[in-house]
Amino acid sequence: MTPDPIENVFRDEVGRALATLIRLVGDFDLAEDALQDAFAAALITWRGSEAPANPRAWLVNVARNKAIDRIRRQRSFRDKEQEIIHAIERDALQDEDTARSDLDDDMLRLIFTCCHPAFAPEVQAALTLRTVCGLTTAEVARAFLTSEDAMAQRLVRAKQKIRLAGIPYEVPGRDALDERMRGVLTVIYLVFTEGYLATSGSALIRHDLAREAIRLGRLVRDLMPEAADISGLLALMLLHDARRAGRIDASGDIVLLEDQDRSTWNRAQIDEGVALVERALAVKGRPQPYTVQAAIAALHAQASSYEQTDWRQIVGLYEVLLRIAPSPVIELNHAAAVSMVDGPARALALVDSLAVRGGLKQYDLLPAVRADLLRRLGQRDEARAAYHAASDATQLAPLKRLYARRLAELDIET
Query: Are 296 and 213 members of one domain?
Result: no
Determine the Cα–Cα distance for residues 382 and 388; give it in Å rounded to an integer: 10
- CA 356 distance to own-chain centroid: 28
Return the pLDDT at 362: 76
What per-residue confidence (pLDDT) applies to 168?
83
CA separation for the pair 383, 410 (Å, rounded)? 8
118 and 208: one domain?
yes
Query: Are residues 198 and 113 both part of a single domain?
Result: yes
| 254: helix, strand or coil | strand
Q: 354: domain range? A: 328-414
My answer on whether 106 and 220 are in the same domain is yes
Residue type, 206: R
CA–CA separation, 184 vs 175, rounded Å?
15
Say yes or no: 216 and 238 in one domain. Answer: no
Regarding whether 134 and 213 lie in a shared domain, the answer is: yes
- In this structure, is residue 322 part of a structural domain? no
Task: Tell me how far apart the alpha carbons of residues 97 and 369 are, in angstroms, rounded to a whole number.
Answer: 54
Is residue 216 domain-shared with residue 109, that is, in the same domain?
yes
Residues 132 and 66 both lie in one domain: no
pLDDT one-digit tens code per residue, 120-156: 888 888 888 888 777 788 878 877 767 899 999 999 9
Domain boundary among 99, 125, 148: 99
> Of 214, 223, 209, which Cα lies nearest the Cα of 170?
223
Q: Tens digit of pLDDT per residue, the chain (414 long)?
A: 555 666 767 767 778 888 888 888 878 888 888 988 988 888 888 876 777 778 888 888 888 888 888 877 775 555 555 555 555 555 554 554 443 443 347 888 888 888 888 888 888 888 888 887 777 888 788 777 678 999 999 999 998 898 888 888 888 877 777 778 888 898 889 888 888 887 766 777 888 788 888 988 998 888 788 889 999 999 999 999 999 999 999 998 999 999 999 999 999 999 999 999 999 999 888 889 999 999 999 999 999 999 999 999 999 999 999 999 999 999 999 999 999 999 999 999 999 999 998 878 778 899 999 999 999 999 999 999 999 999 999 988 999 999 999 999 998 865
Assess if residue 321 is contained within a domain: no
Same domain, 95 and 106: no
Residue 316 falls within a domain, yes or no?
A: no
For residues 70 and 28, the answer to whether their CB atoms sit within 8 Å is no
| Pair (341, 353) in one structural domain | yes
Assess whether 235 and 267 both reside in one domain.
Answer: yes
Q: Are 159 and 98 in contact (CB under 8 A)?
A: no
Query: Does residue 314 fall inside a structural domain?
Result: no
How many whole angstroms separate alpha carbon 18 and alpha carbon 212? 14
d(CA 25, CA 27): 6
Give pLDDT tens digits for 10-48.
767 778 888 888 888 878 888 888 988 988 888 888 876
Q: Rounded distance, CA 340 to CA 257, Å?
A: 13
User: Does 323 fall in a domain?
Assistant: no
Q: Distance between CA 277 and CA 308 in Å, rounded?
A: 21
- Percent helix, strand, coil in the chain (nearest 5)? 75, 0, 25
Please state, in angstroms and rounded to a whole number, the distance separating the CA atoms of residues 109 and 384: 47
**Beta-bridge partners for 248:** 254
Cα 316–Cα 321–Cα 322 angle in degrees, nearest 5: 95
* Burial bucket for residue 316 (CB in 10 Å: 0-12, 13-18, 19+): middle
Strands (DSSP E) found in 165-317: 200-201
In a domain, 318, yes or no: no
Q: Let me know whether 93 and 106 are in one domain.
A: no
Of the candidates 124, 282, 139, the one whose C-alpha atom is nearest the C-alpha of residue 189 is: 124
Burial of 106 (0-12, 13-18, 19+ CB in 10 A): buried
**Domain final position from 45, 80, 99:** 99
Query: Does 315 map to a domain?
Result: no
Q: Rounded to an integer, what is the distance from CA 270 to the centroid of its chain? A: 20
Quote the number of domains for the chain: 4
151 lies in a domain?
Answer: yes
Phi then psi dihedrals of residue 219, to 5 deg: -65, -45
